[in-house]
Amino acid sequence: MPAIRVSALPARLVRMVEDLRRKEDRLALLLSLVIGALVGLVVVAFILLTGRLTALMYPAGGSGWRRIAVPTIGSLVTGYLLFRYFPLARGSGIPQTRAALFIHDGRISIRSVVGKFVCCSISLATGIPLGREGPSVYIGSGLASVIARRLGLSRAQVRSLIPVGGAAALAAAFNTPIAAVLFSLEEIVGDLHAPVLGSVVLASAASWMVLHLVLGDNPLFHVPSYHLVSAAELGVYVVLGIVGGLTSVTFVKLLLWLRARFAKMPRASLWIQPVAGGLTVGILGYFAPQVLGVGYDQVERVLNGDVILKVVVVLAILKIIATSVAYASGNAGGIFGPSLFIGAMVGAAVGSVAHMAFPGSTAGPGAYALVGMGAAFAGIIRTPFTSVVMIFEVTRDYTIIVPLMISNLIAFYISQKLQKEPIYDALARQDGLHLPTRTSRTQGSVPLVSSASRDAPESLTPEMKISEAAERVKDNVLESWPVADELGLVGMVRTRHIVHAEEQGKLEMTIERLMQIARRSDGDKSVDLPHVHNDQPLSRALARMRENGHKVLPVVSRANARIMLGIVTYADILKAFGVESADDLDYKDHPDL
Amino acid sequence: MKTPLFQPAAPTPTATVAEFVATFAVILGAIVGLLLFDTALARVDLTERKAYAAREFGLGERLTAQGRTEQGIEHLRTASTLDGDNSAYGVALAQAILADGRPGEAEQILLPLLERNETDGATTLAMARVLAKEGKLDEAKSYYHRAIYGLWPVGAEKNRTAARFELIDLLAHANARQELLAELLPIQADSTSDVAQRKKIARLFVVAGSPARAVLTFRELLRRDPRDADSYVGLAEAALSLGDFATARIDLLAAQKLMPEDSVSLRGRIALTDSVISLDPTQSGLSLPEQVRRSRNLVQMTLTSMRTCLGVQAPQVAAALDSASLLLVAGRAAGQAQSVEQNLSLAEQLWGLRRSRCAPEAQDGALTLVHNRITK
C-alpha cells in the first residue's frame, strides 16, 4: 500500500477520519456497507470465474474420459496447492470462520482468503461436487477481517465484522439476503439476537444489491409456484421429513467417518489425498455426469418436475458418496450446495412415489424436491430457521412454507437424535478445534471461567522424579498440578499422590509412572486431560471438578487443548460466586468435593 | 521447565490516519475495479449463454417438428434453463411437453412465466391450450381471452386472430353456442377480404345457432362469385339449420352442378335432404292423412332411436315407451287433426328425453333436423 504522510492530507479530512474512528457505531455502519459491496463483488467474480472455468474444462460434446481426467487432475493440483501454500483453505470454510471468530480474535490471513478463492475455483470448475457457499463465507469473513485489521480496529471490532463479511458473501453466493443474515447469526455467531444484527443486515443488503446490479434479478432456481393440493398431503411431507432426516444423518456420518479415516493416513500423503476424492468423483461422473460439480442445473430440472424416479434415487446415492469422499479427502469446497442437491433428489423420489400412489391428492414431485431441499439442509447443516427462510427466498413462494416447516422440523429432530454433534462442530473437533457449542454461545450473562482463572504454576514434567516434584509442591496449597511435556499439557497429577509416593520412599519414580499407576490402580480418569475453556460458564467448571474430583483445572485454548492459558481452582470459583470459604457450602450436594 | 505454551497475545491494533485513509482508498478502488471486471465478465457470460440457449432452442424446435418430441424437450429444457429470461423458450418447452401428453407439467412451467409477465400473449395462449387439454374449460376460455387481448411483440393481429379462432373451435367443440356467437360477432367485420375466413365464420354461425347470419354471408359471397360451389353448400347447411329443407336441396343441386367432381359427398347431403323432406310432417301442402302418416312415422323413428340409444331396461324409459305405443294405438281412433298434434307432441317429448340422455348420432341426422324444425 502506498505510504501517505498525514501532513499531506487536508486537515478537515484528518479531523473527519479521527471523528469517524472515535464513533464506533458510525464506522461500523460505513464498514458494513463497504465490506458488503466488496465481498459481494468478490463472490460474484468467484461465481463467474468458476463458471467460465467449468465451461473450459467441460466443453459441449466432450468425451466421457474427460469426466474422469479433469476432476482427478484438478484435485491433484488443488491438493498440492493446499498442502504447500494454503493449508487453511481445505474444506468448507464455515468451521474455519467460526474458529477465527471464537479462537483467533477474528484473524483470517489474506493468504488463506486468496488460497480459498483459487483452490475452490479450481476444485469446483473441475467438477468436484462441493458447494461454493461455505468457501464464499470464509472469503467474505476473511476480507472483512483483513480490512478491519488494516484499518487498525480493535480486536472486538475485528471479531464483530466476521459475521458481517460472512453474511455478505452468502447473500451474493446464494441470492438469499435474509437467509444469509439468519445463517450468519444462527450458525456463525450462534445467537439470533447478537448486537451485530444491524451491520449484518446492511452488509447482506449491500452485497445483494451488487449481485443484482451485475447479474440481474435472477433467483438461484426458477421454480413453478407449488401449493398444497390437499390436507392429506401433509402426511407425505411428514414422510419426507423422516426420509430427509435419515438421509442427512447417513450423509453426515459417512462424511465424518471417511474424514477420520483419511486423517489417520500419514501426514506425508496429505497432498495426494484429494486425488482419491477426484478419482472417485471422476469414475462416478463417467457413468452419471450429473454428479459432477455442484449440480444446480440438475436441481432446477428436478424442481421443475423433470423427474424419473430411478434417476433421482441413483443420483441421491451417488452424490452422497461423491461429496463425502471429495470432502473427506481434503478437497476445497463446502457441503451447503451438496445438501440442497441431495435433498432435492430425495424429495423428488418421495414425491414421485406419492404422486404415483395418490395422483389426485398430491402435488408433482417438483414440490417435494423443493421441500426436500429444506429438509436436508435442516438435517445436515442444523439451521432449521435459516433453511425455511432460504427456501422461501429461493422460490419466492409463500404457499409451500407450512409443509416446509413440518418436513424441516422432523428432519432436524431426527438428525439431532441420531447424530448428536452438528456437522460443523464435528468437523472442527476432527481438526482439533474445540469450538463453543450453540448452547454455550447463548449463555448470556453467566459468570465465565475467564472471570475466575489465574496464571498457571510452573508445570511438572513427565520425566520429573518424585523427590523433585515433592520439593516443588510442598509449600503450595494447590491440590492438583499440571503436567506438561515440550508439546504442552499432558494431564493433571494430585498433590496427595506425590506426597504418598514420597512417604513410600519411591523417590526415583517419575511423574509419568505415577500417573500410569493412578490410572490403572483406581481407574482415576483425572490424570487424563480434564480441562475447561475461558468462555465456558463457571458452573461447567464446577461440574467438571465433580466429574473427576480435581479442585484445580487447567484452562486451555480452544485451538489446541494442550496450550494452557491458566488454571481455575475451586476456591477461586467460590469467590467468584461470592462465597468466601468452602465451609459455607452444603457439602451434601457435592460429596466428591 | 517453563509453563508451556501460553497463547501469544495479538498485537495491539494501530493504524495512523494516513494508513486508515489509504486502506479506504484501496478498498474503494478495488470496488470500482471489481465492478468493472464483474460487469464485463457477466456480459461475456450472458452473451455466450444466450447464444448457447438459442442453439439449443433451434435444435429442440427442429427435433420436436420431426416428431422426436422427447429429444426436443431435452434441448428446449436446456435452452429454458440457460436463458430463463426468454419466455419463448419456456413457452416452446411447455408446448412440447403438452404435445407429449403431460399437461400438468406444462402448466407448472408456464405458471412462473405468467407470474413474470401475465400479459404476454404467447404464454397465455399456451396456458389456455394446457387448460383446454386438462378439460378446465372456463379457465381455458379466460386464458384465451387474455391471449386475444394480450401483448404480442411480433404479428399481433395475426396471433390474436389465431387465438380467437382457437377459442372459437373450443367453444364449437363444447357446443357453447352463446359464447361462440359472442366470439364470432367481433371478427365478422374484420375479415371482409379473406374469403376462406368468412366462410369459416359463416359455418360457425350455423353451429352457434345463428344460421340467418350465415345465409347473409354466403349470399354476399355468391354475389361476388356466383360459381362458388362451396358457398352454395354453406347456404344449404344454413337452410337446413333454419328448417328450410326445400331451399337447402336447391342449393345443394346448384353446388353439384358447379362441382361435379365432388358429387359423392354432395350426393350424400342431397340424400339427407331428401330424407328430411320425406319425413317432415309439418311441410306445407301435405294432405291431412299424409300428415298423420308422417307424424306416426316420426314417433316410430324417434322410439327406435331411443331404444338404440337408451335401451329399455331403465324403468322410466320403459314407461315412456309403453305410453308412446298406447298413444299410437289410440291415435288411430282419434280424429286425424288431433292425432297429428298428439303425435308431434309425443315425438317432441321423446326426442327431448333422448337428447338429455344420449349424444346425437350420425344415423339420426334427418331425425335431428326434423325435430329441430318442429321445436322451432
A438 domain-assigned: no
Min Cα distance B132 → chain A (Å) is 18
Number of helical (H) and strand (E) elements in chain B, helices listed first: 17, 0
A475 domain-assigned: yes
Min Cα distance A155 → chain B (Å) is 7
Q: What pLDDT is stored for residue B7 in this prediction? A: 39
Write the CA distances from A371 to A340, A406, A423, B302, integer angstroms.
Answer: 10, 9, 21, 60
Separation between Cα atoms, residue A146 and residue B101, nearest integer Å:
58
Separation between Cα atoms, residue B156 and residue A78, nearest integer Å:
56
Tell me whether residues A34 and B81 touch, CB distance under 8 A: no
Q: Is the minimum CB–CB distance between A218 and chain B shorter than 8 Å? A: yes
Q: Are residues A22 and A147 in the same domain?
A: yes
Give the mutation candidate from B2, B3, B52, B98 for the A interface (greatest A CB count, under 10 A): B3
Contacts 24+ apart (CB under 8 A), B57-62: B57/B86, B57/B88, B57/B89, B57/B92, B60/B92, B60/B93, B60/B96, B61/B92
Q: What is the mean pLDDT of residues A59-65?
A: 82
A490 domain-assigned: yes
Residue linked to cell 481434503: A330
Parallel, antiparallel or unpaired: strands A480-485 and A552-556? unpaired
Interface of A with B in 386-425 (CB under 8 A): none
Separation between Cα atoms, residue B108 and residue A581, nearest integer Å:
73
Give the mutation candidate from B14, B19, B20 for the A interface (greatest A CB count, under 10 A): B20
Q: What torsion, rounded to 10 degrees, do the Cα atoms A473, A474, A477, A481 define?
A: 20
Separation between Cα atoms, residue B352 and residue B363, nearest integer Å:
17
Q: Is B311 helix (H, G, I), strand (E, B) or coil?
A: coil
Residue A564 bridge partners (DSSP) = A556
Nearest to B69 by CA among B95, B42, B36: B95
pLDDT value at A512 more than 70: yes
Q: Is the minimum CB–CB distance between A119 and chain B shorter than 8 Å? A: no
Q: What pLDDT is stored for residue B29 in this prediction? A: 95
Contact A530, A74 (CB under 8 A): no
Last residue of a domain, one of A397, A432, A467: A432
Tell me whether residues A224 and B109 touch, CB distance under 8 A: yes
- DSSP structure string for A417-462: HH--S-HHHHHHHHTT--PPPHHHHT--SPPBGGGT-BPPPPPB-T
Parallel, antiparallel or unpaired: strands A564-569 and A552-556? antiparallel
A350 domain-assigned: yes
Min Cα distance B143 → chain A (Å) is 18
Residue B120 bridge partners (DSSP) = B151
Interface of A with B in 222-281 (CB under 8 A): 222-226
Min Cα distance A591 → chain B (Å) is 32
pLDDT value at A72 more than 80: yes
Q: Are residues A424 and A494 in the same domain?
A: no
Q: What pLDDT is stored for residue B333 in this prediction? A: 52
Min Cα distance B62 → chain A (Å) is 19
Nearest by CB: B22 against A1, A18, A560: A1
Query: Cβ contacts (< 8 Å) between A109 and chain B: which residues?
Result: none
A87 domain-assigned: yes
pLDDT confidence band for A31 (50 / 70 / 90): very high
Tell me whether residues A45 and B34 touch, CB distance under 8 A: yes
- What is the DSSP secondary structure assignment for residue A184, as one 8-state letter? I
Comparison of pLDDT for A380 and B261, the residue scoring more: A380
Q: Is the minimum CB–CB distance between A355 and chain B shorter than 8 Å? A: no
pLDDT confidence band for A161 (50 / 70 / 90): very high
Q: Are residues A453 and A425 in the same domain?
A: no
Contacts across the A-B interface (CB distance below 8 Å): 154
Of all residues in chain B, the one with the smallest CA distance to A395 is B112
Q: What pLDDT is stored for residue B9 in this prediction? A: 44
Q: Are residues A143 and A20 in the same domain?
A: yes
Of all residues in chain A, the one with the smallest CA distance to B105 is A305
For residue range A262-278, list pLDDT tens digits in order: 998 988 898 999 999 99
Q: Are residues A251 and A310 in the same domain?
A: yes
Tell me whether residues A210 and B2 touch, CB distance under 8 A: no
Nearest by CB: B7 against A18, A55, A563: A563
Terminal Cα distance for chain B, rounded? 120
Min Cα distance B156 → chain A (Å) is 27
Q: What pLDDT is stored for residue A260 in this prediction? A: 93
- DSSP structure string for A191-229: -TT-TTHHHHHHHHHHHHHHHHHHH-S--SS--PPP--S
Nearest by CB: A6 against B17, B45, B115: B17
Q: What pLDDT is stored for residue A238 in this prediction? A: 95
Query: Cβ contacts (< 8 Å) between A19 and chain B: which residues?
Result: none
A209 domain-assigned: yes
Last residue of a domain, one of A403, A432, A461: A432
Sequence-distant (≥ 6) Cβ neighbours of residue A364 within 8 angstroms: A226, A305, A307, A351, A355, B104, B105, B108
Contact B180, B171 (CB under 8 A): yes
Separation between Cα atoms, residue B164 and residue A142, nearest integer Å:
61
Domain boundaries, position A110: 6-215
Q: Are residues A28 and A100 in the same domain?
A: yes
ipTM score of the complex?
Answer: 0.75
Min Cα distance A131 → chain B (Å) is 20
Of all residues in chain B, the one with the smallest CA distance to A488 is B4
Q: Residue A42 maps to which CATH number?
A: 1.10.3080.10
Min Cα distance A564 → chain B (Å) is 6
Return the top range by mean pLDDT from A68-72, A544-548, B76-80, B307-311: A68-72
Query: Cβ contacts (< 8 Å) between A14 and chain B: which residues?
Result: 17
Separation between Cα atoms, residue A163 and residue B352, nearest integer Å:
78
Q: Is the minimum CB–CB distance between A11 and chain B shorter than 8 Å? A: no
Of all residues in chain A, the one with the smallest CA distance to B110 is A224
Tell me whether residues B17 and A223 touch, CB distance under 8 A: no
Residue B175 bridge partners (DSSP) = none
Q: Are residues A500 and A408 in the same domain?
A: no
For residue A125, what is its C-alpha cell? 470448475
pLDDT confidence band for A580 (50 / 70 / 90): low
What's chain A's average pLDDT? Answer: 86
Q: Which amino acid is at B133?
A: K
A340 domain-assigned: yes
A128 domain-assigned: yes
Min Cα distance A4 → chain B (Å) is 5
Q: Are residues A292 and A424 in the same domain?
A: yes
Q: What is the mean pLDDT of residues A461-486?
A: 86
Q: Is the minimum CB–CB distance between A306 and chain B shorter than 8 Å? A: yes
Query: Cβ contacts (< 8 Å) between B83 and chain A: which residues?
Result: none
Give ∠ CA A97-A102-A103 in degrees, rounded to 5. 95
Tell me whether residues B38 and A44 touch, CB distance under 8 A: yes
Tell me whether residues B3 and A305 touch, CB distance under 8 A: no
Q: Are residues A319 and A427 in the same domain?
A: yes
Query: Cβ contacts (< 8 Å) between A51 and chain B: which residues?
Result: 45
Q: Is the minimum CB–CB distance between A103 and chain B shorter than 8 Å? A: no
pLDDT 10s digit of each residue in chain B, 376 long? 333 333 344 444 467 888 888 888 999 999 999 999 999 999 998 899 899 999 999 999 999 999 898 899 989 988 988 888 888 999 999 999 999 888 888 888 888 888 888 889 999 999 999 999 988 888 999 999 999 998 998 888 888 888 988 898 888 888 777 888 888 887 776 666 777 888 888 888 888 888 888 888 888 888 888 888 888 888 888 887 877 777 888 888 888 778 777 666 777 778 788 887 877 777 777 777 877 788 888 887 887 777 777 664 566 666 666 666 666 655 555 556 667 777 778 778 777 777 777 766 666 677 787 777 777 6
Min Cα distance B138 → chain A (Å) is 20
To which H or E segment does residue A492 belong?
A: strand A488-494
Q: What domains are defined for chain B?
A: 36-174 (1.25.40.10), 177-279 (1.25.40.10), 282-376 (no CATH)
pLDDT value at A158 more than 60: yes
For residue range A287-325, list pLDDT tens digits in order: 999 999 989 888 988 888 777 899 999 999 999 999 999
Separation between Cα atoms, residue B50 and residue A213, nearest integer Å:
19
Query: Cβ contacts (< 8 Å) between A5 and chain B: which residues?
Result: 18
Q: Residue A455 maps to which CATH number?
A: 3.10.580.10
Nearest to A263 by CA among A427, A117, A390, A144: A427
Nearest by CB: B77 against A8, A9, A301: A301
Tell me whether residues A153 and B13 touch, CB distance under 8 A: yes
Q: Is A358 helix (H, G, I), strand (E, B) or coil?
A: coil
Q: Are residues A495 and A584 in the same domain?
A: yes
Q: Is the minimum CB–CB distance between A488 and chain B shorter than 8 Å? A: yes
Comparison of pLDDT for A476 and A467, the residue scoring more: A467
Q: How many separate domains does chain A show?
A: 3
Min Cα distance B145 → chain A (Å) is 23
Last residue of a domain, one of A389, A404, A432: A432
Q: Are residues A165 and A248 in the same domain?
A: no
Q: Are residues A341 and A489 in the same domain?
A: no
Sequence-distant (≥ 6) Cβ neighbours of residue B2 within 8 angstroms: A458
pLDDT value at A226 more than 80: no
Q: What pLDDT is stored for residue A283 in this prediction? A: 95
